[in-house]
Amino acid sequence: MQMTRIKLSLVFFSFILISIGLVSCGQEERPKASLSDVPIIPKPSSVEDHGSSFLIKPDLTLYHLYEPGACKKACDFVKEEWKLLTGYDLKVEPLMDAPEGIVLFAKGDDDKTDNYKMIIGEDVIQIEGGATSFVRAFQTLKQIILLQQQNEATRNYIPTGVIVDEPNFEYRGTMLDVSRHFFTVEEVKEHIDMIALYKFNYLHLHLSDDQGWRIEIKSWPNLTKHGGSTEVGGGVGGFFTQEDYKEIVQYAADRFITIVPEIDMPGHTNAALASYPELNCDGKERELYTGIEVGFSTLCVDKELTYKFLDDVIGEISAITPGPYFHLGGDESHVTPEDEYLVFINKAVEIIQKHGKTPMGWDEFTAGDIPVNSVAQHWHTPENATRGQAKGAKVVMSPAKRAYLDMQYDSTSTYGLHWAAYIDVKNGYDWDPENYIEGLNKENILGIEAPLWTETVSNLNEAEYLLYPRLLGYAEVGWTPSADRSWEDYSKRLAKHSSYLQKMGVEFYESPLVDWETDVMAK
């Protein structure tokens, strides 16, 4: 009976890129369970209850439709995660005639669509979609299991039913500012694990600013040697070697997350100007800077050397960045004369394109001759976003008043700034990127990103206070259309994530707006 079902589904789904089934063959009574009661974040497009449950057993197999040995990326990832999650090994096999385990049907690892359908039966879990979909669906499954594990009675059962799911936006990102304070490779990986669980697919790394240059550039070694040697408050700073960066890129790629590198310019460049005096118009070296003011530095727009510098930096980073975007910053260049700013942006976007990347910039950069399909990141001025749209750019929504993870929750917050707003957990969630800017059309909104600026936090532990729980809300703002979300429903689901956030060692801010449900199982 079981085998017939799998064979049928194979025929039925043969045109679909991936499908997965977990097969367990127990005959015992299954506890009744409701899939729609599991507080999944972001909320899926639809959840249908079948009222029974799938039993997690030690001997499950993941079956896939690749050639033997070819389901590398997605299968390896799921196998590794399964062990961490359940303690059990997962066998991975190409689908043969008589499967007894998990099934994954796939054509290739390069599919980019996030949409998936997951059918959880009593004996089989089957996922339809491409490789990316498979990993997104697996994150839903992981979340369900983590939530079920909070209760001894449910910990080995997955409620049966069907989840059909599709993100509202193609781009769902967070940003880590590793310049104001340096974050280690391990810290970045920890962050990647968390955003993967909530189905973000981009991580933007703010790799340079006045206080520190954090990525090795082989042709300009003093950028990191000197420019990476401190941080806000005067600590020792640090930097990623190109090997470190590649490791981060790979770790993210394994989770189907794309890294967006940012070198902020022509302002926010004091660390570079302190490392190479010849980059300054007056040829004089600048002092390293450990304060938190902005807008006082600029590259020298008139010097030829500036563009050699850009070409080297953008070239070296692009060569080790598989993702499509290169972010040139472009914000708060208060000491760059306006006409010079335009000259600079125009040259920078050309260099970025020459190195095969799509230019991305903070919303000010739409003043330049930006190419069609470049990406404007809206943080400050709505007119800058619509100006970008008029030039054919796509917009990523990061309005500081709603989406800045470094804004304090309220006046009592331990960390954070409040120049844009206080953003409590409700305000961070309860907004619609599609209606936020008048005249900005949905089809030109690529997605949303929640940036974490790190002037006030010096490591991931401190950052967790600002990141959580708001990050979960941004995951849902990016994934679930506004018509399907409400604060009332979301805050109840969020309340149930507390004990497993704790279990994973995340020190989140216990907002009084949420009626937190902590569980006795939680450490």
Pairing of strands 19-21, 102-105: antiparallel
Among residues 343 and 417, whose Cβ is nearest to ligand TNX?
Answer: 417
Task: Give catalytic status of residue 340 as yes or no.
Answer: no
Among residues 325 and 453, whose Cβ is nearest to ligand TNX?
Answer: 453
Report residue 445: phi and psi, to 5°: -95, 110
Tokens of 292: 């938190």
Q: Residue 111 and residue 81: Cα distance in Å, rounded?
A: 21
Among residues 85 and 417, whose Cβ is nearest to ligand TNX?
Answer: 417
Nearest distance from C-beta of residue 406 to ligand TNX, angstroms: 5
Q: Residue 142 and residue 162: Cα distance in Å, rounded?
A: 15
Tokens of 305: 């050397």
Nearest distance from C-beta of residue 354 to ligand TNX, angstroms: 25
Nearest distance from C-beta of residue 294 to ligand TNX, angstroms: 5
CB 471 within 8 A of CB 450: yes
The three-class DSSP label of residue 66 is: coil
Nearest distance from C-beta of residue 488 to ligand TNX, angstroms: 30
Nearest distance from C-beta of residue 206 to ligand TNX, angstroms: 8
Q: Residue 249 and residue 260: Cα distance in Å, rounded?
A: 9
Report residue 347: phi and psi, to 5°: -70, -40
Nearest distance from C-beta of residue 335 to ligand TNX, angstroms: 14
CA dist list (Å): 161 to 3, 304, 397: 19, 63, 34
Strand partners, 313: none
Contacts (Cβ under 8 Å, ≥6 apart) of 416: 406, 407, 408, 409, 456, 457, 466
CB 64 within 8 A of CB 106: yes
Among residues 114 and 406, whose Cβ is nearest to ligand TNX?
Answer: 406
Nearest distance from C-beta of residue 408 to ligand TNX, angstroms: 10
CB 477 within 8 A of CB 180: no
Nearest distance from C-beta of residue 328 to ligand TNX, angstroms: 12
Half-sphere exposure of 57 (CA within 13 A, CB side): 23
Q: Residue 395 and residue 376: Cα distance in Å, rounded?
A: 5
Tell me the H-state helices in 25-130. 73-86
Tokens of 53: 């449950």
Tell me the H-state helices in 408-469. 425-429, 460-467
Name the amino acid, one letter, at 3: M
Q: Which listed residue (81, 231, 316, 332) is catalytic?
A: 332
DSSP structure class, residue 295: S
Strand partners, 327: 262, 360
Among residues 126 and 333, whose Cβ is nearest to ligand TNX?
Answer: 333
Among residues 139 and 297, whose Cβ is nearest to ligand TNX?
Answer: 297
Among residues 208 and 321, whose Cβ is nearest to ligand TNX?
Answer: 208
Pairing of strands 325-329, 258-265: parallel
- The residue among 159, 119, 116 whose CA lies nearest residue 139 is 116
Among residues 93 and 424, whose Cβ is nearest to ligand TNX?
Answer: 424
Question: Which residues contribute to the site for ligand TNX (CB under 6 A)?
Answer: 294, 331-332, 362, 379, 404, 406, 417, 453, 455
Among residues 294 and 342, whose Cβ is nearest to ligand TNX?
Answer: 294
Among residues 406 and 449, whose Cβ is nearest to ligand TNX?
Answer: 406
Q: Residue 361 and residue 25: Cα distance in Å, rounded?
A: 53
Taking the alpha carbons at both ends of the chain, their separation in whole angstroms is: 42
**Residue 451: cis peptide before it, omega within 30 degrees of 0:** no
DSSP string, 220-281: STHHHHTTTS--GGG-----B-HHHHHHHHHHHHHTT-EEEEEEEESSS-HHHHHH-GGGST
Point out the residues that are catalytic.
Answer: 332
